Structure 1
Amino acid sequence: MPGGLNSSKLALLVIDMQNAFTRAANPILKNVNATITSARRAGVPVIFSQHGHPDPENEVKTSVIVNWWGASGSIKKGSFDAQLLPNLDVAPDEVILDEKTTYDAFYKTRLKSLLDKENVDTVIISGVLTQFCCETTTRSAFVQNYDIIFLSDGTGPPYKPTLDTIAHGFGKVITCAQMRERLDEIAKDRNK
């Protein structure tokens, strides 16, 4: 059975903190960066996703998400919009899942294999957009038997219906400060 907040087998997922989503990401950036720092001190893997499409113009007929948003409303891989925010705290050795092409960070990416390799039983969800990629990734993680911790002020924009849904049926919704307290406890235990 997954471990939840009491687990020490955690991974922090930082979903799509990219230039395309600056308006949603900037208000939570300080909280996310502070949580990333705490995760590193605790030895918790930090995994970043980066959404993008190799050729949106030609994917309109083959990708439901590109079809939905249109080629001009989709993020082209390698573009300025696809780049992670310049102030996001990404260490050189941390994983960036740049193969993400839909709302779900698990779909056709190496995320599950990375989590399994680290024996992760609980994922911490942060990033943008709350009601799209963060919520979809949460649901996907849940059905794959991961316990979920969803950061209420580490996902943006604030979207109460998603927070209520996650809390009701998918995972524990807490603040970044509460998560950092738990990560600090893990770090202390590691350094004994």
Structure 2
Amino acid sequence: MPGGLDSSNLALIVIDMQNAFASMAQPILSELNDTIRSARRAGIPVIFTQHGHSDPENEEKTSVLVHWWGASESIRKGSHDWKLLSGLDVASNEVVLDEKTTYDSFYGTRLKSLLDKQNVDTVIISGVLTQFCCETTARSAFVQNYDVIFLSNGTGPPCPSTLEIISFGFGKVITCAEMRTRLEKIKKDSLK
């Protein structure tokens, strides 16, 4: 059974903190970086996702997401927009899933196998965009039997309706500061 807020088998998922979303990512960057560092100190894996398309013009015919937004509005892999924000605290040994092509960070990626390999039962959702990739990934995690913790000020932009929906039926919504307090407890408990 998943562990929820009391679990020590957590993973922090940092979704799409890329240049394309800089205006929505910058306001949460400091809180998120502090939470990333707390997760590391607690021995909690941190996994980053990076959304992009190899050939948006051709994918417009096969990808409903590219078709919806159009090839010109889709993020091209390797472009400046595709790169992670320069101020994001990514350690060299942390996983960056650069194969993400949909709102769902699980779909078509190695995310589930990475989580299962590390016996993760609870995912902490952070990043951008709250109402698209973060919410979709939280819902997907829930239906795959992971407990979900959703960071209210570690996802951007602010979207009260998403927070209400997640807290009603998919996971616990807490602040980054509350998460860091829990991570500090995990760190202390592991030293006993």
- TM-score above 0.5, yes or no: yes
CA distance in 2: counterparts of 1:114 and 1:151, whole angstroms: 21
1:31-85 deviation per Cα after TM superposition (whole angstroms, max 9, x unaligned)? 1100000000000000000000000011100000000000000000000000000
Aligned position for 2:184: 184
Kindly report the root-mean-square deviation, in angstroms, between the aligned alpha carbons of the 2 structures: 0.4
**Which residue of structure 1 aligns with residue 108 of structure 2?**
108
- Output one character per residue of 1:132-187: Cα deviation in whole Å (capped at 9) or x when no partner: 00000000000000000000000000000000000000000000000000000001
Aligned pair 1:78/2:73, yes or no?
A: no
Match of 1:143 in 2: 143
Whole-angstrom distance in 1 between the partners of 2:81 and 2:94: 21
SS class of match (1:96): strand
**Amino acid paired to 2:168:** H
* 1: CA distance, partners of 2:157 / 2:44: 25
The CA deviation at 1:101 is 0.2
Q: CA deviation at 1:190?
A: 1.5
Residue identity in the other structure for 2:150: F
Cα distance, 1:112 vs structure 2: 0.1
Instruction: Find the counterpart in structure 2 of residue 49 from structure 1.
Output: 49
Provide the residue aligned with 2:21 in structure 1: 21
Name the amino acid aligned to 2:72.
S
Q: Classify the secondary structure of the residue corresponding to 1:109.
A: coil
SS at match of 2:73: coil
Secondary structure of the residue aligned to 1:72 is helix
Residue 191 of structure 1 and its aligned partner are, at CA, apart by 1.9
Runs of 4+ that moved beyond 4 A: none
Show the counterpart of 2:89: 89
Provide the TM-score with structure 2 as the length reference: 0.99
**Unaligned runs of at least 5 residues, structure 2:** none
Structure 2 counterpart of 1:56, one-letter code = P
Q: What secondary structure does 1:50 align onto?
A: strand
Identity %: 75
